[in-house]
Amino acid sequence: MSLQKVGKIIELFYSTSDGRMNPHSLSFDVKGVLKDKFYNTNVLRSVLIASLDSYELAKEHGIDAPYNSLGENILIDYNPYFLKPGAQIMIGDIVLEISQNCTICNSLAKVDAALPKILKDDRGIFAKVIQSGTIKQGDDVYLLTSSS
C-alpha cells in the first residue's frame, strides 16, 4: 500500500446529549467516535466525513451554513464523495474505510429548506474505523492505494 496526500482536517465534531462539540482532537476505535452519542450504534455509519466543497455548494445557492451543519465528525478540504465503498483513507494514526454515501436527512432543512435537495449527492460519506487512534485539527489526510 502507498499513501497519497489529498488534504487536511479543517474541523472535528461529535454529538452528545447536550449538543455538538468541536474538540481539537478526536479518538476512535472500531466501534466509532469515542464520546459520541452514536458510538457503537452502526459501525458502517460510525464516522461521517464531509468536504468544504459541500459548504461551498450551499454558499453558491445563497445558504451560509456554519461548519457542523451537515452533522459531520470530520470536515476536510478534500472532496471524497467519488470514493467507492472499500476505499481507505489514513488520518493521523487511524485508518477509515468508506462504507457508503451519506443519505440526506430532513435535519438539514433546519438550516435551510432547500439544503437537502442541494446536497442530495454531496452531504458526505460514511466510514468505518479499521485502525483505532486519535486525530487532530490540521492533520493530513491520505488516500491509501495499492502499490500494484
pLDDT tens-place string over residues 107-132: 888 899 999 999 988 889 999 999 99
* pTM flag (> 0.85): yes
Task: List pLDDT tens digits, range 43-62.
Answer: 999 999 999 999 999 999 99
Contact 120, 135 (CB under 8 A): no
Residue 148 in this model has a pLDDT that exceeds 70: no
pLDDT at 130: 97
What is the rounded average pLDDT of the residues 74-97?
95
* Residue 104 confidence class, pLDDT cut points 50, 70, 90: confident
Residue 62 is predicted with a pLDDT of 96
Q: What angle do CA 60, 81, 68 make, to 5 degrees?
A: 60
Q: Is 44 helix (H, G, I), strand (E, B) or coil?
A: helix
- Mean pLDDT, the chain, integer: 93
Split at pLDDT 50, 70, 90, the class of 103 is: confident
Mean pLDDT of 88-109: 89
Three-state DSSP state, 132: coil
Cell of 9: 482536517
Domains of the chain, CATH where assigned: 2-145 (2.40.33.20)
Question: How many angstroms separate the Cα of 66 from the Cα of each of 25, 59, 72, 108, 144?
Answer: 19, 10, 12, 12, 30
Cell of 87: 476505499
pLDDT category at 147 given cuts 50, 70, 90 is low
Residue 90 has which C-alpha cell? 489514513
pLDDT, tens digit (0-9, with 9 covering 90-100), for 5-26: 999 999 999 999 999 999 999 9
Integer Cα distance of 57 and 18 in angstroms: 29
Query: Residue 105 above 80 pLDDT?
Result: no
Determine whether 53 is exposed, middle or buried from the number of CB atoms within 10 Å of its CB (0-12, 13-18, 19+). middle
